[in-house]
Amino acid sequence: MIQFIILILGAIAIWLSQHNKEYFRKWACVFGLVGQPFWIYDSYMNQQWGIFILSFVYGYCWLMGFKTYWRNEK
């Protein structure tokens, strides 16, 4: 079930990040951030340490997107 959630949230985040309208692009980081706890939990439970560390890197990148699109709105 967790991998299905990762699949759905990740696919939506990637698709939105490539949309040509900014309104949709700004939602990519939200879906990406929602998916990160599932990535962290699943990689920890399966002792996939490279993915575990990479999850924090991705989380930081999604946070940068959140700051760009949501915190700096005019």
Q: pLDDT, tens digit, for every residue of 35-53?
A: 999 999 999 999 999 999 9
DSSP code for 67:
I
19 phi and psi angles, rounded to 5 deg: -70, 150
What 3-state class would DSSP assign to 19?
Answer: coil
- Domain encompassing residue 44: 2-71
Q: What is the pTM of this model?
A: 0.89
Mean pLDDT of 17-40: 96
- Number of domains comprising the chain: 1
DSSP strands (E only) in 8-54? none
